[in-house]
Amino acid sequence: MKTKLQVMKFGGTSVGDAACIARAARIVAEAARENAVVAVVSAMRGVTNRLVDTAHRAGSGDAAAGATLTDGLRQQHHDALAALVPSEKRSAVACRIDEILAEGRRLFDGTALLRELTARALDTISSLGERLCAPIFAAALSELGVRGAAIEATELILTDSYHGGAEPLMDATRERCEARLRPLLQEDVVPVATGFIGATRDGTLTTLGRGGSDYSATILGAALTADEVIIWTDVDGVLTADPRLVPDARTIPEISYREAAELAYFGAKVLHPKTLRAVMPAGIPVWIRNSFTPTRTGTKISQQGRSIGGGVKALTAIRDVALISIGGPGIVGVPDVVGRTFSTTAELRANVLLISQSSSQNDICFIVAAADAQRTLEALRREFAQDLSHEVVDHITVDPKIAIVAVVGENMRGTRGVAGRTFAAMGRDNVNIIAIAQGSSETNISFVVEDTAMKQALLSAHCEFDLGGEKCEVGVGDGI
């Protein structure tokens, strides 16, 4: 009888090449001695980016790009397979790689011929990386004496039909996972599911959004009522800030769902923003661990987290955003300007990350993902066309050169002085603040700065709240 049920997800870097896949497979094989394990794998590092980029090129008529990419991917995946599995045992997986790539090639050719990339085709093309990786990973497991079975998550995760950001339908997903995965687990097989993808009721492939394999893992964890979900990545857990920007960022041993969700929402790439949604109702803990240093315990994300008595726990920042502002002295008189603004963004499904309105109502500004900025601007100009022509609204503008910085911690509202210290630190280090929003969620204070000042803002706040653990010097940043 196995002790627990674990879902283990390996991100792109953790399956980046044959050596990484071997390391990840060893982690699974080790765990599978004691526990029932479901593995979830991403595409090999960089593959999804290349697929998406080539899909867009095909959409603009480039017929050669798809052929070049599929040739490259064939080589890369056969090489990885060859390094992991002896030749006499490779043929089934090798055939599968070729089948998937032949399908990919047809998709690129069709897209180039039509000169049109539909959202549906983009999803199917983007899914190829995960579909190529899972059979290789399963074969690597079998080499370690653990029976692995590659499974495409189109068989497991049922979603709505919103391509590029589909939502799971949990009841149906639960039924499918019970039917497809439970029997394998009972026979001591480790299912190796593709991350990132699902399918609609009629079988059309969907994706959960870029970086969505984290979400796949928690969806499967919730569907099977797993004891824990472990997200294996390339850093030692959730850190006090992005280590690429703040070199002395430290691992946070334990953090609450709310804090981690807030960090993810404001750009901490280590977790897809929706990851925790799936496991919160059942209280399943999620661990973030480093597949390159598996002896370290990483970060535990749980309902309670570990209280540090309120105050700042971590920082995050998000750069791919744009500030949209609608203003003019006459907008006080424009009927329902706020309602109309946000019904427009809702219709576009544009994600609004931060809102700030001056109390005089002369100006409303809000932030959306950079990818949504242009169409949001156009839709607002249509919505307020009359008001613009009568000059009651005198501008609707977009500023893409900004970043949001968020200071995150449980119960910050109850901790006096966090806002004061944050903004004093910014002032001291010459970081100009464009807008501020203190969430009523109590878990974050976020503010907008010029994108060139983002790194300095993080360094200053990290230092101010002593998140690196050793007293730092003020104004050490080189970001401005």
Q: Does 381 bind ligand ADP (CB under 6 A)?
A: no
Q: Which residue is nearest to Mg ion (CB)?
A: 211
Q: Which of 5, 6, 7, 12 binds ligand ADP (CB under 6 A)?
A: 12
Nearer to ligand ASP, 11 or 237 (CB): 11
Q: Which does 129 bind (CB under 5 to 8 A by kind): ligand ASP, Mg ion, ligand ADP, none?
A: ligand ASP
Nearer to ligand ADP, 196 or 366 (CB): 196
Residues 269-308 touching ligand ADP, rule: CB under 6 A, are 269-270
Q: Which amino acid is at 347?
A: E
Residue 227 CB-half CA count within 13 A: 8
Residues 307-326 touching ligand ADP, rule: CB under 6 A, are 314, 316
Q: Which of 115, 244, 296, 395 binds ligand ADP (CB under 6 A)?
A: 244
Nearer to Mg ion, 191 or 211 (CB): 211
Nearer to ligand ADP, 73 or 364 (CB): 73
Residues 206-245 touching Mg ion, rule: CB under 5 A, are 211
Question: CA 198, CA 256: separation in Å to the nearest integer?
Answer: 28
The Cα diameter of the chain in Å comes to 77
- CA-nearest of 1, 39, 375 to 181 is 39
Q: Which stretch binds ligand ASP (CB under 6 A): 42-50, 167-175, 217-225, 416-424?
A: 42-50
Q: Which stretch binds ligand ASP (CB under 6 A): 59-67, 204-212, 422-430, 439-447?
A: 204-212
Cβ atoms of residues 271 and 242 within 8 Å: no
Q: Does 142 bind ligand ASP (CB under 6 A)?
A: no
Q: Which does 277 bind (CB under 5 to 8 A by kind): Mg ion, ligand ADP, ligand ASP, none?
A: none
CB 398 to ligand ADP: min, Å: 26
* Gyration radius from the chain CA atoms: 24
CB 193 to ligand ASP: min, Å: 13
Q: Is residue 244 exposed (0-12), middle (13-18) or buried (19+ Cβ within 10 Å)? A: exposed
Cβ atoms of residues 158 and 169 within 8 Å: yes
- Two tokens at 20? 């990484």
Question: CA 265, CA 445: separation in Å to the nearest integer?
Answer: 13
Residues with Cβ within 8 Å of residue 124, at least 6 apart in sequence: 107, 205
Q: Does 129 bind ligand ASP (CB under 6 A)?
A: yes
Cβ atoms of residues 287 and 333 within 8 Å: no
- Two tokens at 53? 């980029």
Q: Does 235 bind ligand ADP (CB under 6 A)?
A: yes
Q: Which of 30, 109, 234, 394 binds ligand ADP (CB under 6 A)?
A: 234
Site string (158-187) toward ligand ASP, x via CB under 6 A? ------------------------------
Q: Which of 224, 238, 334, 459 binds ligand ADP (CB under 6 A)?
A: 238
Question: CA 115, CA 58: separation in Å to the nearest integer?
Answer: 7
> How does strand 352-357 pair with strand 197-199?
unpaired
Residue 374 CB-half CA count within 13 A: 1
| Residues at the interface with ligand ASP (CB under 6 A) | 11-12, 42-43, 48, 129, 195-196, 210-213
